[in-house]
Amino acid sequence: MKRINIIKSIFFVGTIAFGVSCTNLDEEVLDGFVINNEAGGTVNTAAFLQSAYEGLRGFQDQDKMFTLDEMSGDGLVGPTRGGDWDDNAKWRQFHVHTWGSDNVEIRNAWNSLLTNVYNCNLVIYNTATDSQKTQARFLRAFYYYNVIDLFGQAPYREEGTDITDNPKFWTRKEATAFVISELEAIVAKLPARVANDASIANADAAHYLLAKLYLNKGVFNADNAAGPYTFDAADMNKVISNVDAISSSLAPEYWSNFAPTNNTSNEIIFSSKNVLGSGGGIQSRWRMGMHYNQIPDGWNGFATVAEYYNKFDAADDRRQHTSPSIIQYYGNPIGFQYGQMYGPEGNYKTNKDGTKSLMTEADYKNNVPYVHYLGGVVDLHDRNGHPLFFTKEVTMITSGPTLETAGIRTQKYEPDHANLGNPENDYVLMRYSDALLMKAEAALRGGTGGAATAQAILDQIDLRAKLPAGSTPATLDGIYLERGKELWYEGWRRNDMIRFGKFLAPRELKPTTSDPKYALYPIPADALFNPNVTQNPGY
């Protein structure tokens, strides 16, 4: 049997860790994979590539990478509400920076990312088409980027090593250089982005990811993960040239990027595709904070602090979005929800005999032809009969009359009313407005164009948000503010806060400066059985 070894990247809690060998490769391959074995078996590379794509759905859920990227920042909190939402304090630990290496969401993120590195390698090092291998190399680069960003080091296995050997670890600088070299080697081989479907690896996505890497290279190559950081002008010009190579444009309307039909937006550079009726965890984007009595109902968990909400001007279109159909279906605008919440009194269908009757959940699911008539709205209440009035005030442990209502809630994606449990919205992983803001930042950090280039970009994005040109100044502080408003809850806040030197600072519900160790997450305990890995400093 001929073997080629790859990165061991699956860690099952309490059972499988680095250094564990597998004696029956036909039964379970953990350290390597098999090609051309004696029985004539082959690896189904198409299936593993599909698995690598489906792994992107892990970014849609409310936990794992989303929690690590957003709840550790200045906007999102996961308060304990009486006996709900405690889970051994795992949610609260992120916002206040008290997590340890035993936090299950940190372990789950590590496992998810490296499982998909493993799936990609099964394609890259087996008999696959050139297209399959190129797509897998791009996906592996994307997963590795997130490992580098979150954990600061990455496991790898040299080709030809024995499967019983422990994988080696790249330093953050080494892993960054590897991912950049991979992307630069394949970008010309990747196809152009397919119209109305950004879920396939494409050249624009590779240029975007290269821009993201060069923008953060000063962070990833720093001697100390907490800074200080030096941003080289040559790297900033690489950011600019890669953004300029992207063939895209801003969507005329901000919220079209998050609608059930968002696959049609040219602004979306790369996405995780959902097919109607088989969507991933994207429903979490409207259920994670919404109350049980709202339409659609939610889990009444996560909230936004007032300090973050107050960054938005009242006229900013990115703060809230409404339409007759949104009010008709749900009673409230989407976006940030603050104040009294409402529910439709009744949405009606027109029957064949001309009479009207109330729509049922089955009617929505079965797409029964209907004409809606808004029967009026009603004030909603919580389960204790208190008005469902979401407050700006929230504490990490809530109780009393505002137990269920403390904290501003959010819906970044418009609910797919015909299929609330398995929506069609594609999940946005890369968006052109982010690329433009990266270019503006790079221009201000020493790249060509300077403040004039940055201001032109900021004006373009502000005008789309229904704000006057000049609303955001062409300064690094202005870029930081704009990124927080444009990209809220899209998975970039922690990354941005670290690069701008804001992540460890005090903020609402986190009154003290964090220990510098929190600039990186700890390597999960299971992975530490490998003697080649050293725990990140401070843990």
- The CATH code that applies to domain 191-273+432-508 is 1.25.40.390
What dihedral do alpha carbons 266, 272, 273, 279 form, nearest 10°?
Answer: -130
Tokens of 432: 């052109």
Distance of CA 169 to CAs 136, 157, 517, Å? 21, 8, 19
Which residues, including other chains, have CB under 8 Å from residue 360's CB and lie 6 or more apart? Answer: none
Sequence ranges of the chain with CATH classification 1.25.40.390: 1-186+516-539, 191-273+432-508
Distance of alpha carbon 240 from alpha carbon 243, whole angstroms? 5
Cβ(522)–Cβ(101) under 8 Å? yes
Backbone angles phi, psi at 176, to 5 degrees: -60, -45
Please compute, for residue 283, the number of CA atoms within 13 A of its CA located in the half-sphere on the CB side: 19
Partnered with residue 347 across adjacent β-strands are 374
Domain 1-186+516-539 belongs to what architecture?
Alpha Horseshoe (1.25)
Partnered with residue 81 across adjacent β-strands are 84, 398
Structure letter (DSSP) for residue 282: G
Rg (C-alpha) for the chain, rounded Å, is 24
**pLDDT tens-digit profile, the chain (539 residues):** 333 333 343 332 222 222 222 323 232 333 333 343 333 457 899 999 999 999 999 999 999 999 999 999 999 999 999 989 999 999 999 999 999 999 999 999 999 999 999 999 999 998 899 999 999 999 999 999 999 999 999 999 876 667 678 889 999 999 999 999 999 999 999 999 999 999 999 999 999 999 999 999 999 999 999 999 999 999 999 999 999 999 999 999 999 999 999 999 999 999 999 987 666 789 999 999 999 999 999 999 999 999 999 999 999 999 999 988 898 889 899 999 999 999 875 555 666 776 666 555 455 445 554 444 444 567 899 999 999 999 999 999 999 999 999 999 999 999 998 888 889 999 999 999 999 999 999 999 999 999 999 999 999 999 999 999 999 999 999 999 999 999 999 999 999 999 999 999 999 999 999 999 999 999 999 899 999 999 999 99
